[in-house]
Amino acid sequence: MVDTATGSYANPAGAYTRDSNYITTRITADGHDGYPVEPGRYRLVVSRACPWANRAIIVRRLLGLEEALSLGVCGPTHDKRSWTFDLDPGGVDPVLGIERIQDAYFARFPGYDRGITVPAIVDVPTGQVVTNDYAQITLDLSTEWRAYHRPGAPDLYPEPLRAEIDAVNEVVYADVNNGVYRCGFAGTQQAYEEAYHRLFDRLDWLSARLAGQRYLVGDTITEADVRLFTTLVRFDAVYHGHFKCNRQKLTEMPVLWAYARDLFQTPGFGDTVDFDHIKRHYYQVHRDINPTGVVPVGPDLAGWLTPHGRETLGGRPFGDGTPPPPPRPDETVPAEHTPLGRVPR
C-alpha cells in the first residue's frame, strides 16, 4: 500500500520502493502543456524538511525567482493524508487558502490516490496542482524560466554538460538520494545490507571524483551539486542513525565533508537548510522506525561553518554570474534552526 504523503511502499522482498508516478505536466516558456511560464501565477509548495523540496528551494534562490514564483512552506511533519500549512496563521496557506496540499491535488484530480508529495507547483487562479515531478521542476526552473532569472544568475544546467550531469544525477539518485531511504525502510536484513553497501560504494566513488575537482561536473556549481548536497546535509542529523547508514558519519569522510561545507557556506545553499525541521520530520513521522517520536538533540552543527579548503581546487561557484542576495526576511530560516544560532555550552 502506498503512503500518500511520501509515495513509497515496501515490495514483497522487503526492499524499499519509491512511487515514481509523478504528475508530469510541465510549466514551459511556450506553454505546450497548457501551463505557460507567467510570473505571479504559480506557487511552489515545499517543506524545508524534505530533501527533494530543498532542491527546488535552492534552485529558486540561486536563480533569483523569488518575485516570479511565490513560496508556500508546509510544516515539518505530516500524517498519512498530506503535508499541512501549520506554520501559517490559522494553519491556512495565505495565497492558496487551503490547510493541506492534498486540496490542490484533489482540485485537479478528485480521488487522487498516488503520492501527495512536495515539492509541488500549484496554479494559483484555479487552486489546482500542476506538477510534483521534482526532478523536472528544477530543470525547468533553469531552462524554461530564464526570462525571469535575476541578473547574474548561474547556469545550473549548461547545455554542453547536460549529458554528464544527467549521468551523474542518475547514479547519485539510485545509490545515494534514494539509497539512504532504501537502507532506512528495508524490510529484511538482506535488502538493508544490499542498500547499505550500494550507498557507501557510491559515496566512495564520489569521494574519489571530488578529491581533485571542486564540483561534480565542470568547474561551476550545477544541478548535480544541488542534488547531492540535500542528501549530504541530512546525513549525520538523520541518515547515519535513523536510517542505519552508519559505516561512517559525513564528518568522517574528509572529501565529502569538505565538499558539503563548501556548498553549505555558499549563498543559496546553507541559508535554505532548517535542521530543526529536518530532524522533527524524520524522527516524529517515521514512527515505524522511531516509535517514541523522540528527536535527538545533536549533532553539533558548529562544524558546518569551519574552513573547508576547497577553494584551493579552483572552480568558480557561479561561473560568470554572481551570488544571490540574502534571503527575503519572510523566507529566512530561524537562526536557532541553523549553525549560526547554536552556541556550544
**Grid coordinates given for 212:** 581533485
The residues annotated as belonging to the active site are 50, 181
Q: Which amino acid is at 205?
A: W
Give the total residue count for the chain. Answer: 345
- Beta strands 128-131 and 42-47, pairing class: unpaired
Beta bridge partner(s), residue 44: 71, 121
- Is residue 43 within 8 A of residue 121, CB to CB? The reply is yes
Nearest-angstrom CA–CA distance, 3 and 184: 15
Nearest-angstrom CA–CA distance, 197 and 174: 13
Nearest-angstrom CA–CA distance, 7 and 269: 26
